[in-house]
Amino acid sequence: MSLNIFRIAWIAVRELLYERVFYILLCFVALSLSLSLLLGQMTYIEQYKLTVDFMLAGGEISMVLFSIFAGISLFQKELTMGSVSMTLAKPISRSTFLLGKFVGQCAVQMTMVLGMLIVTIAVSSVYRHPDIASLAQTYCLIGFESMVLTSLCYFFAVNSGAITTAVISLCFFGAGHLRDNITQNADMKSASFQIWRVVKNLVPDLELFNSKPLASYGVTISSVEMGWAFVYCVICVTFFLTLASLTFNMKDIPT
Amino acid sequence: MTLNSDAISLTNVTKIFHTGVIKRKTAVEDLTFSVARGEVVGLLGANGSGKSTTIKMILGFLKATHGELTVCGHNTEERIARSFIGYLPENPRFQRFLTAHDVMKYFGRLLGMRGEELEKRIAHLLELVSLKHVTKERVHGFSKGMTQRLALAQALLNRPPLLIFDEPMSGLDPLGRKEIRSLIMRIHDEMPDSTMFFSTHILGDVEQVCSSVILLKQGRLKRQCTLDELLSQGDQRFELLIRNLAPSLHKKYLDAFESRLSAGGIQVVVDGAEALAAKLAEVEKDGATVASVNSQRKSLEDELFADTSFPLPVATNQSMGKSL
């Protein structure tokens, strides 16, 4: 099973590199990083901080979009195109297929995160000696967040169409970052708050993966916090991929 | 593989699709049949008769609502069942960036093949399907026929005892159809123990390739028999060419089912010897002459559509005139 996951993952990597959506998102990454450099020029004193801040934000948004749209492209397209039928006609499980795609996509995402880290270090070194540890930590957390979003996207892609998957995944991203704010500011007696209390438990807490404000000041987080973020990432990915696998196994594939 | 088990066995299989919150559509109902090993079986039926649903259930893509399906003695929901199947889909699609060799290698590895054994098998199969000269070319530029042949080659990689072809000749030009047909026959010669099960709309191909047929109608099994049994039974048909008929009587003859106006006269088809005798008497009475009487063998198409509830379009001289 494990070897077949990597065979499918390798094809998924090549597939992503051949996809137009990959290059569009790559352009978006390049644009957001370049814009950060320009925006940094808007201040005289805090150039490093502002540039790094924008770069990290641009990097995060890029990875969010990549997780969702590459996920849809990789998984949904294969289902709608029908090429999945020949793969699933072989003695491999649907979970293997799903995991293979996930591993392939995550490999590309991690490479992109590494590339963005190198660019950010290179650019920020124009202003002063960059805080490599804090930048590496932040990009690592962005990588974790993108993995959680990818697994979430796969779960929705199994159960719904491309547009619904994109919309719901983006909603989960928003809710995942704002869940504490919503809880604090909501009217606790209202009926919608009671619904939110239920929904909140299903939305992963993505703020755990946010250390951007600290990184722009050059502050690092403790290894324990990093460890917890990693464990939380693994739990979320396992949960959503298990759900995705279970529903995919039960689903009819009308290829 | 379980010894002495059928290649395919379906017992009381029903598939109901949920087409809405309340709406249900029964695609296949109480289907029971089995396919013995080594047979070449054609699955026939009109559009919507449940052919593709049946094939997808055998492959495990669709879950049966009721009933039991086995492949070589294994339940189709078990992963091992698919190791006995080589599948050629109706519209095979490959990742566009892969070469023919990459495709074969990828599927070969998924089947657990590797090393020299895999390479030798790939070379042999690409030669068999006449794609050796494009081994290193991306499938992106392949024609429909080439894609179909590559899909056929990947289905044969692990010498599966059961080959399932879903409309293997659909969308191909006559030459492509001939190629696939001769390939199927060649594969059967090379692997005489393997079972071939395929659905098709092209009935002539079934007549040439299959040893037996399964007819589906509206999701139910209409009949399962050998091709010879199917074609030999029933009334014999005769085609008459009638000449020198008075123009005022043309309508009377052309109103009959499957009659048409041709350059030599009016062609009329009758079923059975009694109907022939009656028609000959009628022609004589009307003062016309019978130029020829040809005996026709009952075709598979006639059998397949014998009791369809809707009339099949028949070109009369009037409708031909309008369309022209």
Q: Which of residues 103-122 of A touch B (CB under 8 A)?
A: none
pLDDT over 70 (residue B269): yes
pLDDT over 50 (residue B309): no
pLDDT over 50 (residue B315): no
pLDDT over 80 (residue B2): no
d(CA A237, CA A253): 24
pLDDT over 70 (residue A187): yes
Token reading at A89:
């006609």
d(CA A211, CA A105): 24
pLDDT over 70 (residue B208): yes
Mean pLDDT of A63-70: 92
Q: What is the CA radius of gyration of chain B?
A: 24
Task: Specify the DSSP element, H or E, that contains B216.
Answer: strand B212-217
**In contact, B266 and B260? CB cutoff 8 Å:** yes
d(CA A91, CA B83): 5
Task: Specify the DSSP element, H or E, that contains B144.
Answer: helix B144-155
**In contact, B113 and B157? CB cutoff 8 Å:** yes
Does A90 sit within 8 Å of B89, measured CB to CB?
A: no
pLDDT reported for residue B318: 38
Name which of B61, B94, B97 is nearest A255 (Cβ-Cβ): B61
More confident residue, B263 or A63: A63
- Contacts of residue B154 in chain A, CB cutoff 8 Å? 86
Q: What is the CA radius of gyration of chain A?
A: 19
More confident residue, A102 or B277: A102
d(CA B59, CA A92): 12
> What is the phi/psi pair of residue B45, to 5°?
165, 160
Does B91 sit within 8 Å of A91, measured CB to CB?
A: no
A188 interfaces chain B, CB cutoff of 8 Å: no
Q: If you measure CA to CA, which chain A residue comes closest to B163?
A: A89
- Closest to A54 in 3D by CA, of A138, A137, A115, A174: A138
pLDDT reported for residue B312: 40
**In contact, B53 and B62? CB cutoff 8 Å:** yes
> What is the phi/psi pair of residue B28, to 5°?
-135, 135
pLDDT reported for residue B235: 59
Work out the percent of chain B whose per-residue pLDDT is above 70. 88
Residue-level length of chain B: 324
Per-residue confidence at A248, pLDDT binned at 50, 70, 90?
very high
In this structure, of A90-94, B52-56, B152-156, B189-193, the range with the lowest mean pLDDT score is: B189-193
More confident residue, A137 or B202: A137
Task: Specify the DSSP element, H or E, that contains B226.
Answer: strand B220-226
Strands in B265-271's sheet, in edge-to-edge order, are B260-262, B265-271, B237-243, B289-296
**In contact, B82 and B8? CB cutoff 8 Å:** no
Partners of B25 in the beta sheet?
B17
A20 interfaces chain B, CB cutoff of 8 Å: no
pLDDT over 60 (residue A169): yes
The per-residue b/e assignment along B277-298, b for 16 or more CB within 10 angstroms, e otherwise, is eebbeebeeeebebeeeeeeeb
Name the burial class of residue A105, with classes exposed (0-12), middle (13-18) and buried (19+) by CB atoms within 10 angstroms of its CB.
Answer: buried
Calculate the average pLDDT of chain A.
88
In this structure, of A156-165, B16-25, B137-146, the range with the lowest mean pLDDT score is: B16-25
- Contacts of residue B17 in chain A, CB cutoff 8 Å? 252
pLDDT reported for residue A167: 94
pLDDT reported for residue A180: 82
Token reading at B263:
């350059």
Q: Which residues of B touch A (CB under 8 A)?
A: 17, 56, 59-63, 79-83, 85, 87, 89, 91-98, 106-107, 109-111, 151, 154
User: Are β-strands B220-226 and B260-262 bridged in parallel, bridged antiparallel, or unpaired?
Assistant: unpaired
pLDDT reported for residue A148: 96
Mean pLDDT of A150-159: 93
pLDDT reported for residue A215: 83
Does B111 sit within 8 Å of A86, measured CB to CB?
A: no
Query: pTM of whole model > 0.95?
Result: no
Please give the torsion angle defined by the CA atoms of residues A187, A190, A196 and A197, in that order, rounded to the nearest 10 degrees.
Answer: 90
- Render B54-114 in DSSP notation, one character per residue: HHHHHTTSS--SEEEEEETTEETTSGGGGGGEEEE-SS----TT-BHHHHHHHHHHHTT--
∠ CA B18-A241-A114, nearest 5°, is: 135
Does B79 sit within 8 Å of A14, measured CB to CB?
A: no
Partners of B264 in the beta sheet?
none
Look at residue A231 and give its three-state secondary structure.
Answer: helix
Q: If you measure CA to CA, which chain A residue comes closest to B65?
A: A252
A2 interfaces chain B, CB cutoff of 8 Å: no
pLDDT over 70 (residue A66): yes
- Closest to B92 in 3D by CA, of B160, B163, B159, B169: B169
Q: Which of residues 124-183 of A touch B (CB under 8 A)?
A: none
Q: If you measure CA to CA, which chain A residue comes closest to B151?
A: A86
pLDDT reported for residue B301: 63
Token reading at B181:
């047909």
Per-residue confidence at B1, pLDDT binned at 50, 70, 90?
low
pLDDT in tens, A9-44: 999 999 999 888 888 888 988 888 888 888 877 777
**In contact, B98 and B38? CB cutoff 8 Å:** no
Strands in B66-71's sheet, in edge-to-edge order, are B24-35, B8-18, B66-71, B74-75
Token reading at B308:
């369809």
Residue B26: count other Cβ atoms within 10 Å of its Cβ: 15
> Tokens 């566009």 identify what position?
B96
Residue type, position A30, single letter: A
**In contact, A154 and A71? CB cutoff 8 Å:** yes
**In contact, B45 and B56? CB cutoff 8 Å:** no
- Closest to A98 in 3D by CA, of A203, A20, A1: A1
Work out the percent of chain A whose per-residue pLDDT is above 90. 45
Per-residue confidence at B218, pLDDT binned at 50, 70, 90?
confident
User: Are β-strands B8-18 and B66-71 bridged in parallel, bridged antiparallel, or unpaired?
Assistant: antiparallel
pLDDT reported for residue B302: 63
Mean pLDDT of A92-99: 94
pLDDT reported for residue B297: 58
Given CA atoms B143, B145, B148, B150 in this order, what sign does their dihedral have? negative
Per-residue confidence at B305, pLDDT binned at 50, 70, 90?
low
pLDDT over 90 (residue B287): no
Per-residue confidence at A77, pLDDT binned at 50, 70, 90?
confident
